[in-house]
Amino acid sequence: MRIHGVDHVEMYVGDARMAAHYLCTSFGFRLYGQGGPETGLPGQRSLLLGQGDVRILLTSGLVADHPATRYTARHGDGVAVVAFGVEDAAGVYESAVAAGATPIAAPETHSRDSAAVVTATVSGFGDVVHRLVERRGAGPEFLPGAIELTEAAHGDGGADPLRDIDHAAVCLPAGELDDTVTFYEKAFGFAEIFHEYIEVGQQGMESRVVQSASGGVTFTFIQPDLSRRPGQIDDFLAWHNGAGVQHLAFRTEDIIAAVRSFSGRGVGFAQTPGSYYDVLEKRLGPVDAPVTALRELGILVDRDHWGEMFQIFTKSMHIRRTLFLELIDRHGARTFGTSNITALYEAKERELTGIHEIA
C-alpha cells in the first residue's frame, strides 16, 4: 500500500477561532479555509490553517453529540485525526480493515470542477483515527464542497519557517506498546526503525518508532514503566484520559531563526540548563551552529551515524498541560535526539512542578 505522508492533522478544540488565533499569532500559520453547517458540515465549525506543507484543521463541535464535543469533554483540546495522503484510499481502507482496523467512514468522493478528493477513515490508537486522503488533480483544494478556501491557500509557502510534520509522539498506557506497533505493521505496512528503553532519574519508559514505507509518516510510541516512579508520561495519560498525541514535531530548515521569531511572538519554550552547553562540544565535537546562539535559545543538539539534528520543545499550550510542539532541524540525522530525551523530560518535570506549586 502506498502512503505518501501526513496530508493533514485535525485537532478537536473547544473554540476553533481562539485556537486559530493562537497558532496564527504565535507560529505564523495562515487561515487557508473554513467550513461549517453552511458548507455541508453539520454540527461543527472548522478552520483550515497552513504553513509550508503543514495543514492543520481545527474543529469545534456546535452540538452535544458531535465527535469533537465528546472528544474535548474527555481529552481536552488535542489531535483527533492524523490523515495519511495515499494513492488509493479505497484500497488502503480495505487492506487496513482486513488487517484489524475498525472502519469509521467508508470511501467517499468529494468533487468540484476538475478537483476530486477521495476520503475514508479507520481506527488508529486510543481515540485518534486515520483519514485516508487520495487527491486527484485537486490543486489547492482541501475538501471540495466542505472547506471553502481563502486567497491565502493559493499562495507560495516556500519561505515559511515550518516546512512539514516530521513525526508525532504518542503516549500509550503501559502494556499497549507491542500490540500498537504490531497493528501499524499489519494494517498500514509500517516498519519499526528504532527501539529503546529510556531512564530519567527514577522514571523509566519504553519507546518504539514506526515509519511508513515512504518515510513520510513517523510515530514515536512511548509507554511508561510502572515499576518505576510515575513521571511526565503518567501525567499525560492521566490528564488526557488515555492514549494520545503528546507532541507534534515540525521540521524547520533554520531552527535558530524560527525560535527567535516564535519567542518574539510570545511562544514559551522548555528551558535547558546552562551546564548542557558547557560540555556540548566535549560530548559531540564541533557542531553546525554557534553554541552561543544555541545556549541563548535553549536549542538541543544530537548526532547519529548520518548527521546532526537540532530540536527544541514548546511549553504546553493547553490548560491540561498535555499537547505541546517540537521544532526539529535535521542536518542529515535520521534519529530523534536520544541523548536529549533526559533533558526534555527533566524540563517537562520542572514545568509541571511549577504548575503544581502555583495550584
Residue spans of the domains in the chain: they are 3-154, 162-358
CATH number, span 162-358: 3.10.180.10
The predicted pLDDT at position 343 comes to: 58
The predicted pLDDT at position 288 comes to: 94
Cα separations (Å) of 200 from 193, 204, 338, 346?
A: 22, 6, 12, 8
The predicted pLDDT at position 27 comes to: 97
In angstroms, the CA 270 to CA 259 distance is 12
Does the CA dihedral 69-73-77-79 come out positive or negative? Answer: negative
> 3-154 domain in CATH 3.10.180.10?
yes
Cα separations (Å) of 12 from 75, 78, 81, 205?
A: 9, 6, 9, 28
The predicted pLDDT at position 358 comes to: 46
Nearest one of 51, 10, 79, 55 to 253, comparing CA atoms? 51
Does the CA dihedral 90-92-95-100 come out positive or negative? Answer: negative
The predicted pLDDT at position 287 comes to: 95
pLDDT along the chain (359 residues), means of 10: 94 98 97 96 97 97 98 97 98 98 97 91 98 88 94 87 97 98 98 90 90 96 93 93 97 98 96 86 92 96 93 90 96 84 60 54
The predicted pLDDT at position 349 comes to: 62
The predicted pLDDT at position 28 comes to: 97
The predicted pLDDT at position 114 comes to: 83
What residue type is assigned to position 322 of the chain?
T
Give every strand in the sheet of 308-313, ordered side by side.
191-200, 203-211, 218-224, 162-171, 244-252, 324-331, 308-313, 300-303
In angstroms, the CA 245 to CA 236 distance is 10
Q: What is the pTM of this model?
A: 0.93
In angstroms, the CA 340 to CA 273 distance is 12
Nearest one of 82, 313, 341 to 194, comparing CA atoms? 341
Answer whether 3-154 and 162-358 agree in fold.
yes
